[in-house]
Amino acid sequence: MIETRNVVHRYGDDGPPAVDGVSLAVPDGEFVLLAGPNGSGKSTLVRHFNGLLDPDEGEVLVDGTPVSENLVAARTSVGMVFQQPRDGFVAATVGADVAFGPENLGLSNEEIDRRVADALAAVNMAGRRDERIDALSGGERERVAIAGALAMDPDHLVLDEPFTGLDAPARESVVEQLRTLKESGTGVVLVTHDLRDAFDLADRIVALADGCVAVDAAPADARERLPDLGIRVPAGEVRGER
């Protein structure tokens, strides 16, 4: 469970806060779409979920423990995949990059090996450990970034705009990985300004506006209110809708 309590975050002394009093509880296994226009505070908010940013006011708890008290536990429970993962790789090859996180947990070599193999299999990259990351397509890099987070065996995976710069087949491939993750019980928080890719996977939609929660509802209920915030929703039937 990720819980934010009245979280406020300011980047400077001037202007309104980037996140302005957000209280949210995300249970294990829930698939949340976090939407909102550019600059509404989505990235800033999720960076609090595992202590990449500290709140100026309020607090963040993971499994009931304040993140500030146990950063390692928060980062083990909440995996992050960032926008444009090409900047986020730490090693030259697929296998070395995915192994980096588990190595830092001090696991045995057998366990690291098992986790790397499982994580790569989960994103359809089995057998590609020795390939160079700089030779991969954008979609493949995204999948390696997801595998790197999965190798930490997180309860929640947070992805910040993972579709940016991907073509349609790559987007579909990433959506399929997210579907598999959801089915395996991993919670997903997907940050996006365009809901069309994953609307039918969501259990819940949270939309931010000016750093505040403007909508927090099931997809069918959220659907009508999102266009007012400048958020595009997919045309047609939505799961749970009549």
Report the interface residues with ligand ATP, using CB under 6 A: 11, 18, 36, 38-44, 193
Task: Pick between residue 34 and residue 152 the one whose CB is nearest to ligand ATP.
Answer: 34
Cβ of residue 13: shortest distance to ligand ATP, in angstroms?
A: 12
Nearest 5°: phi and psi at 189? -115, 115
Instruction: List strand residue ranges (DSSP E) for 88-235, in order.
Output: 156-160, 187-191, 204-209, 212-217
Nearest 5°: phi and psi at 170? -70, -40
Cβ of residue 157: shortest distance to ligand ATP, in angstroms?
A: 17
Task: Pick between residue 93 and residue 192 the one whose CB is nearest to ligand ATP.
Answer: 192
Torsion sign, CA atoms 228, 230, 236, 242: negative
Task: Pick between residue 13 and residue 183 the one whose CB is nearest to ligand ATP.
Answer: 13
Alpha carbon 44 to its chain centroid, in Å, reads: 12
Q: Are 20 and 29 in contact (CB under 8 A)?
A: no
Could you give the CA distance from residue 38 to residue 49 in angstroms, rounded to a whole number?
20
Cβ of residue 45: shortest distance to ligand ATP, in angstroms?
A: 7
Could you give the CA distance from residue 221 to residue 215 in angstroms, rounded to a whole number?
9
Task: Pick between residue 212 and residue 217 the one whose CB is nearest to ligand ATP.
Answer: 212
Task: Pick between residue 50 and residue 76 the one whose CB is nearest to ligand ATP.
Answer: 50
Q: Are 164 and 83 in contact (CB under 8 A)?
A: yes
Cβ of residue 46: shortest distance to ligand ATP, in angstroms?
A: 8
Cβ of residue 42: shortest distance to ligand ATP, in angstroms?
A: 4
Cβ of residue 205: shortest distance to ligand ATP, in angstroms?
A: 15
Cβ of residue 82: shortest distance to ligand ATP, in angstroms?
A: 11
Task: Pick between residue 38 and residue 108 the one whose CB is nearest to ligand ATP.
Answer: 38
Q: How many CB atoms lie within 10 A of CB 108?
A: 9
Could you give the CA distance from residue 107 to residue 196 in angstroms, rounded to a whole number?
39
Of 28, 11, 53, 42, the closest CA to residue 215 belongs to: 42
Task: Pick between residue 40 and residue 76 the one whose CB is nearest to ligand ATP.
Answer: 40
Q: Is 29 helix (H, G, I), strand (E, B) or coil?
A: coil
